[in-house]
């Protein structure tokens, strides 16, 4: 592994350590280490040059280490908890995914945003942020610049709503379980969901992760539907994307495997506690890296129409999530 990559990872680890330490202090504990790590990352990324040339290491933290943290976080959950949500949880996730996708796409097209870019923003909002955009991009044959614009929009809007949720938690929904499902059903990135729900406690976080995982799993059918539509339009040659090349979110399998281990108590509690602490530290590193990637000048770069499309679609998603969570659960 190259020196710059290790340095980038080390920087996110250093910020995570600071965030964990600050999270134990009076006042800061209310916010939590994940949000603190993200805010520190935003400060470093925008007001210093420390992140220059360290992109590979930072990306490793926001992608690889994030997924590893999510897998280990499966030890927090008992599969009985997932079963308890049943079809209601699945219905909630599917409904919000559909609402978000078509709302963002409709608003984007009304604002005269390119069809391909509209699809990417809609997918990122509806499913799982940058991961969904990366999965859909080859299917819709999006250029690198378009993909970058979509990811920047989702990062900006998602971070904005994560901070709002954290600050307004007592007003949004004082019931931890309901708040967790609401956060899991309406925020974009997995890191955003974990960060915002952590302030509501263990139950809120558990429910948020379950709902978010259900949304992430919907990435597979959405990609296949888009693949079918695009290949049918072309009506020539072999599909440009196949099952082998699809970026299927395999970390879900690891997450469920860890939940299975916890369900049957296959690991000693002392080891489980250590692994869960490690999971949170990895997530704090991911949040720091994510914060470093959110550039304030990106508001100008992505353009007002993209921001309005992301904000408008997310507001509709939030309202739908708020209304449905009371009806379904």
Q: DSSP for 64-93?
A: IIHHHHHHHHGGG--HHHHHHHHHHHHHHH
- Classify residue 234 by its DSSP letter: H
Terminal CA-to-CA distance of the chain, rounded, Å? 48
- Mean of the pLDDT values across residues 292-320? 83
What pLDDT digit, counting tens, does each position of 256-288 carry? 889 899 989 999 999 999 999 999 899 899 889
Query: What value does the mean pLDDT of the chain take?
Result: 84
The more confident residue out of 179 and 138 is 179
Q: What's the confidence (pLDDT) of residue 318?
A: 95
Q: What's the confidence (pLDDT) of residue 292?
A: 87
What pLDDT digit, counting tens, does each position of 182-227 carry? 999 999 988 889 889 988 888 899 899 889 988 988 887 888 888 7
Residue 296 clears pLDDT 60, i.e. is over it:
yes
The more confident residue out of 243 and 96 is 96
Residue 5 clears pLDDT 60, i.e. is over it:
yes
- Mean of the pLDDT values across residues 317-322? 95
Q: What's the confidence (pLDDT) of residue 249?
A: 63
Q: What's the confidence (pLDDT) of residue 102?
A: 96
What pLDDT digit, counting tens, does each position of 58-83 carry? 989 988 898 898 889 889 877 777 77
List own/partner pairs for 64-68 with CB under 8 A and 24 or more apart. Answer: 65/9, 65/12, 65/282, 65/285, 65/286, 66/190, 66/191, 66/282, 66/283, 66/286, 67/251, 67/254, 68/251, 68/282
Pairwise CA distance, residues 153 & 116, whole Å: 14
- The alpha-carbon radius of gyration of the chain (Å, integer) is 19
Residue 246 clears pLDDT 70, i.e. is over it:
no
Task: Find the angle CA(319)-CA(323)-CA(325) to the nearest 5 degrees.
Answer: 115
State how far the alpha carbon of 243 is from the alpha carbons of 217, 218, 235, 248, 265, in Å: 15, 15, 18, 9, 35
């Amino acid at each position: 592994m190259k020196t710059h990559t290790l340095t980038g990872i080390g920087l996110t680890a250093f910020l995570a350590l600071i965030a964990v330490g600050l999270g134990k202090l009076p006042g800061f504990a209310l916010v939590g280490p994940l949000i603190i790590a993200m805010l520190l990352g935003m400060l470093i990324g925008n007001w210093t040059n420390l992140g220059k040339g360290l992109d590979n290491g930072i990306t490793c933290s926001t992608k690889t280490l994030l997924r590893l943290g999510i897998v280990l976080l499966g030890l927090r959950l008992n599969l009985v908890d997932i079963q308890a949500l049943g079809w209601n949880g699945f219905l909630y996730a599917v409904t919000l995914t559909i609402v978000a996708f078509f709302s963002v796409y409709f608003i984007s097209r009304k604002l005269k945003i390119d069809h391909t870019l509209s699809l990417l923003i809609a997918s990122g909002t509806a499913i799982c942020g940058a991961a969904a955009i990366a999965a859909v991009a080859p299917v819709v044959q999006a250029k690198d610049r378009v993909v970058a614009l979509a990811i920047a929009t989702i990062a900006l809007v998602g971070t904005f709503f994560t901070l709002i949720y954290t600050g307004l938690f007592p007003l949004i929904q004082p019931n931890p379980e309901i708040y967790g499902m609401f956060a899991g059903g309406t925020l974009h990135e997995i890191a955003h969901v974990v960060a915002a729900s952590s302030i509501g406690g263990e139950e809120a976080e558990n429910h948020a992760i379950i709902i978010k995982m259900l949304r992430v799993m919907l990435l597979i059918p959405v990609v296949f539907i888009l693949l079918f539509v695009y290949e049918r339009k072309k009506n020539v040659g072999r599909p440009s994307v196949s099952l082998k090349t699809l970026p299927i979110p395999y970390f879900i399998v690891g997450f469920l495997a860890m939940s299975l281990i916890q369900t049957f108590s296959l690991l000693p509690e002392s080891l489980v506690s250590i692994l869960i602490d490690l999971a949170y530290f990895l997530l704090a590193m991911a949040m720091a890296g994510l914060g470093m990637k959110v550039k304030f000048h990106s508001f100008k770069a992505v353009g007002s129409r993209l921001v309005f499309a992301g904000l408008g679609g997310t507001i509709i998603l939030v309202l739908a999530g708020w209304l449905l969570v009371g009806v379904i659960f």
